[in-house]
Structures are given as C-alpha cells and as structure tokens.
C-alpha cells in the first residue's frame, strides 16, 4: 500500500495543518507504509532552508521534513511553485533533486492507493 500526501499550506500559518500532516507521515512510515510527499502552492516554503521556525512555534517543520526525507520518505516539490508561491519565492529547495513537475504528481497519484491533501 502506498499513501501520497499532498501539502498545500504555508508551513507556519498559525494552524497545525502541516505539523499534523508530517506527524501522520512519520507514523505511517514507522509502520512500514510507503509514503510519498508532494508539496505545492505556499507549502513549498517547507522545503527551503531559509524558512525559519518562528519563535512562537513549537516545532521546526523544515527539520522534521528533512528528517523524514533522509529516513527514506519520497519527496517531490512543485518546480513551478518554486518561483510563484510562498513567502520565499524564487529561493532554492534544500535539495535540488526534489524539484518536480505536474507529470510527477500525476504519476504518483495514479500509483497511490490513497491520496490525502493537507
């Protein structure tokens, strides 16, 4: 079984949407589930090193994403959104290999058993 998680929200938008999505990814991954994360829209700031955790926020979401990525969770981030979306428009992603296209998202969607959006 494979689960595709699509993240759309700005990481530190005052809600726990992104944090809870990452918690779910971590839990599924620990249980042996194949998990893929595709980030688009304002969520792309989550994949940028220059996105810093605000003082008021309890968790460093960028660090959590990097930990999941280095632990084997598949990650792709919309290339078009890199220049168009987020507070840090045009800034690079923390790994150039995660930049993706709508074709990548379409392939992952078609292959997934479940697709969840946050």
Mean pLDDT across 77-105 = 95
Q: How far is 46 from 93, CA to CA, in rounded Å?
A: 9
**All structural domains of the chain:** 2-117 (3.40.1260.10)
pLDDT in tens, 31-64: 999 999 999 999 999 999 999 999 999 999 999 9
Q: What is the pTM of this model?
A: 0.95
pLDDT band at 108 (very low <50, low <70, confident <90, very high): very high
Q: How far is 46 from 40, CA to CA, in rounded Å?
A: 10
Strand 99-100 versus strand 34-39 pairing type: unpaired
Backbone φ, ψ for residue 24 (5° rounding):
-65, -45
For residue 13, the number of C-alpha atoms closer than 13 Å in the C-beta half-sphere is 19
Work out the percent of the chain whose per-residue pLDDT is above 90: 98
Tally of CB atoms within 10 A around 104: 16
62 touches 94 (CB < 8 A): yes
Residue 1 has pLDDT above 90, yes or no: no
Q: Where are the alpha helices (DSSP H) in the chain?
A: 17-30, 61-70, 79-84, 102-111
């Amino acid at each position: 079984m494979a689960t595709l998680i699509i993240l759309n929200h700005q990481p530190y938008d005052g809600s726990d949407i992104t944090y809870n999505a990452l918690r779910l990814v971590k839990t599924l991954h620990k249980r042996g589930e194949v998990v893929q994360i595709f980030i688009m829209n304002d969520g792309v700031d989550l994949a940028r090193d220059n996105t810093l955790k605000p003082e008021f926020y309890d968790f460093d979401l960028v660090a959590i994403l990097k930990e999941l990525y280095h632990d084997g969770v598949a990650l792709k981030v919309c290339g078009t959104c890199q220049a168009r979306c987020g507070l840090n428009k045009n800034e690079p992603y923390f790994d150039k290999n995660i930049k993706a296209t709508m074709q990548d998202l379409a392939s992952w969607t078609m292959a997934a058993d479940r697709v969840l959006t946050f």
